[in-house]
């Protein structure tokens, strides 16, 4: 949803008086908190009984003039079909998908390999004939709430770095030793340390252990996404793995170091703030800097990075050798480059 916010911004810029509502899974609705382009956020359940699902469809039935589906899924298409008489969406290049073209008045093919997710969503703006605005919009707080959050993180005037050590899945995880070595280096640069993370118990425990070992401020599980965005926006540096928080960091404009392993950067690399081109900022193989983002890709002697799989054992709870072998010295060098005047 975060990477579809450029489509929402494009719609609002083209039609500023139009009401734009967003329908998404209720447990991800926080990504749109404070988004000025959205009038109403409609949260739906990931799993629901047929009766509950019919109730959700009835709730949007023909309430809209236009419905857009930036995901090539049957569930998204079904909500579009219910919501509006005029619909745009995406189809995969499979033969069976062409039979579903009748669901849309216009559609584009979905590319899961060589097109960034931001560009994919913006393709619907082009179908509408409106200007595409390639700007990811992070969740946001009101000014008073933002000041309250920042006052709780660091003494006035203290520069700090935000470290997000724990991704949702093990195959995206860097090593504890690497985080500790990086934290020590950041401390030596005079930076305070703020640790963020989800509320999941195992993730909080791992973050707590790292924060305690280096004397950082542990805020894992204690901040909303909008509060995390505020903390990152005021930081001197952010370092994190392939996760939504890293995409938020890139969107705030803060210097961001993103640690990537098996994931395809062309499709999922963080979109730098101010990157106006619609082509992906990233190649499939290699590290480098684009604007406020330094994407650091792990390496493996087998030459399999990125494998586009869920870890070396092809499951979300497996490890990824390319990240486990990522030297702290490489991460520190990227951070030094981002902190340099």
| Domain co-membership, 162 together with 59 | no
Q: Domain end: 128, 154, 182, which one?
A: 128
Q: What is the pLDDT of residue 221?
A: 94
Give the number of domains in the chain: 2
Q: 161 and 124 in one domain? A: no
Whether 49 and 178 share a structural domain? no
138, part of any domain:
no
Is residue 134 one of the residues assigned to a domain? no
Same domain, 166 and 265: yes
Domain contains 123:
yes
In this prediction, residue 101 carries a pLDDT of: 92
Q: Are residues 62 and 159 in the same domain?
A: no
**DSSP assignment of 63-100, as one string?**
--SEEE--S--HHHHHHHHHH-SEEEEEE-SSHHHHTT
The predicted structure's pLDDT at residue 341 = 84
3-state secondary structure of 287: coil
293 burial (CB, 10 Å; 0-12 / 13-18 / 19+) is: buried
Question: Which of 65, 100, 128 represents a domain boundary (last residue)?
Answer: 128
Q: Are 139 and 30 in contact (CB under 8 A)?
A: yes
**Domain identity same for 221 and 93:** no
CB 32 within 8 A of CB 1: yes
CA distance 6 to 289: 22
pLDDT tens, the chain, 341 aa long: 999 999 999 999 999 999 999 999 999 999 999 999 999 999 999 999 999 999 999 999 999 999 999 999 999 999 999 999 999 999 999 988 988 999 999 999 999 999 999 999 999 999 999 999 999 999 999 999 999 999 999 887 899 999 999 999 999 999 999 999 999 999 999 999 999 999 999 999 999 999 999 999 999 999 999 999 999 999 999 999 999 999 999 999 999 999 999 999 999 999 999 998 889 999 999 999 999 999 999 988 788 999 999 999 999 999 999 999 999 999 999 999 999 98
Residue with tokens 């996404």: 225
* Range of the structural domain that residue 110 is part of: 2-128
Same domain, 177 and 279: yes
* 300 belongs to a structural domain: yes
Query: Contact 57/14 with Cβ under 8 angstroms?
Result: no
Asked if residue 303 is part of any domain, the answer here is yes
Residues 327 and 180 in one domain: yes
On whether both 101 and 151 belong to a single domain, the answer is no
Residues 151 and 122 in one domain: no
Let me know whether 166 and 116 are in one domain: no
Q: Of 79, 102, 128, which marks where a domain is finished?
A: 128
Q: Considering the domain boundaries, does residue 194 fall inside one?
A: yes
Write the CATH number for 175.
3.40.50.2000
C-alpha–C-alpha distance, residues 237 and 161, integer Å: 5
Q: Are 34 and 158 members of one domain?
A: no
CB-CB contact of 215 with 191 (8 Å)? no
């Amino acid at each position: 949803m975060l990477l579809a916010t450029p489509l929402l911004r494009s719609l609002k810029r083209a039609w500023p008086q139009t009401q734009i509502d967003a329908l998404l899974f209720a447990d991800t609705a926080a990504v749109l908190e404070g988004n000025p382009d959205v009038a109403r956020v409609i949260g739906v359940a990931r799993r629901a009984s047929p009766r509950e699902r019919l109730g959700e469809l009835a709730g949007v039935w023909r309430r809209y003039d236009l419905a857009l589906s930036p995901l090539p899924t049957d569930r998204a298409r079904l909500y579009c079909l219910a919501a509006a008489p005029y619909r745009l969406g995406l189809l995969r290049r499979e033969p069976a998908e062409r039979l579903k073209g009748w669901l849309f008045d216009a559609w584009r093919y979905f590319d899961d390999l060589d097109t960034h997710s931001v560009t994919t969503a913006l393709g619907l703006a082009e179908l509408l004939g409106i200007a595409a605005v390639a700007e990811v919009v992070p969740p946001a707080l009101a000014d008073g709430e933002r000041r309250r959050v920042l006052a709780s993180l660091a003494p006035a005037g203290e520069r700090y770095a935000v470290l997000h050590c724990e991704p949702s899945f093990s195959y995206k995880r860097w090593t504890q030793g690497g985080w500790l070595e990086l934290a020590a280096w950041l401390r030596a640069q005079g930076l305070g340390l703020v640790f963020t993370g989800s509320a999941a118990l195992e993730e909080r425990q791992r973050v707590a252990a790292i924060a305690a070992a280096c004397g950082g401020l542990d805020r894992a599980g204690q901040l909303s996404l909008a509060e995390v965005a505020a903390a990152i926006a005021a930081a001197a540096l952010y370092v994190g793995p392939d996760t939504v928080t890293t995409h938020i960091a890139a969107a705030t404009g803060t210097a961001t170091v993103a640690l990537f392993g098996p994931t395809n950067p062309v499709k999922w690399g963080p979109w730098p703030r101010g990157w106006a081109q619609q082509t992906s900022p990233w190649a499939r193989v290699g590290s480098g800097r684009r604007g406020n983002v330094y994407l650091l890709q792990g390496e493996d002697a087998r030459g399999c990075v990125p494998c586009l799989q869920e870890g070396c054992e092809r499951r979300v709870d497996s490890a990824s050798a390319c990240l486990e072998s990522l030297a702290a010295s490489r991460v520190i060098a990227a951070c030094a480059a981002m902190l340099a005047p």
